[in-house]
Amino acid sequence: MAMGCWAAALVREPPMAKPLLEMSAAKVFFDGIFTSPRVAHPEGVAVHRDGSIWCGTETGDLLRLAADGGSVERMGGTQGFLLGIAFDGAGNCFACDWKHSAIFRRDAGTAQMERFASAGIRVPNYPVVDETRGWLFVSDSVGQDNRSGIFRYDLKTGDGGLWCREAMSFANGMAMAPDGNGLYVVESNAPCISYVPILADGAPGTRRVVVEGVRNVPDGLAFAPDGSLFISCYEPSRIYRWRKDRGLEVLMEDPTATTLAHPTNIAFKGDKLYTANLGRWHITEIDLAAIANPGR
């Protein structure tokens, strides 16, 4: 979620290196401007185990796009504003709602979408499911009073509260580390990516910055199976790739903000990367096959 980050968007940046991919590698996967239901400025995106692409909208609708991009179906809703979404192994979908300051859960068995957790959180932004430990981690994008951080809730009961108490500069998208032992967190107003270890007793370790200079407004994160970290930027409409051995590289940028239109959250399916576009009414598909197939 990029709201509250306008100051960061005004930062003057140095000339950009040539992107790894041309814009021709991206296409509109599903255009929902006039469909019913409408894909109204999607913020969250996730890939279901059946290959379908799910997203959440500014009208609180949880939508399912067919795997071939041929149809859209409403799977539930909150009448609020959905931000990040995530699935657990059973196909239950957790969705952060900005209006209600709560996380909702759509039950895969009953198809019912109900309030799941809300204790203490004010702007629930992005959920990460940790089934090994039985927790749901959720970033809180408060932004202005240095209480932005990470909450943790029991995956079965929804009980929980503030987990990482270190001040963050607008905690936003998150991703579990490939080894499962920590969380990577976007700090949109820094702008940087931080890492918070998960200690053996479940407590948070000391936060540290791992990627800097992610200009101007980083928003979402996703790890490829090869360990590369992909970072979406709300402003400009840009995707980065970060590797420890290569540093930060620009994957793609859309100077017209049309195919990539202020991308927020991102998700992998094979060698395709899907982006939600808060600036428009569609989901974008990026073909990554030309850069060593990071999704395989």
Q: Is the pLDDT of residue 146 over 60?
A: no
Q: How far from chain centre, in Å, is Cα 106?
A: 18
Question: pLDDT at position 143, please?
Answer: 60
Question: pLDDT at position 142, please?
Answer: 83
Backbone φ, ψ for residue 155 (5° rounding):
-65, -25
Question: pLDDT at position 17, please?
Answer: 76
Question: pLDDT at position 294, please?
Answer: 46
What is the per-residue pLDDT across 22-75, written as a single tens digit (0 to 9) for each? 999 999 999 999 999 999 999 999 999 999 999 999 999 999 999 999 999 999
For the chain, give the mean pLDDT: 93
Q: Is the pLDDT of residue 8 over 70?
A: no
Compute the average pLDDT of residues 84-111. 98
The pTM score is: 0.93
Angle at alpha carbon of residue 147, lines to 143 and 152, rounded to 5°: 110
Q: How many CB atoms lie within 10 A of CB 179?
A: 7
Backbone φ, ψ for residue 290 (5° rounding):
-75, -10
Question: pLDDT at position 274, please?
Answer: 98
What is the per-residue pLDDT across 160-172, written as a single tens digit (0 to 9) for each? 999 998 989 999 9
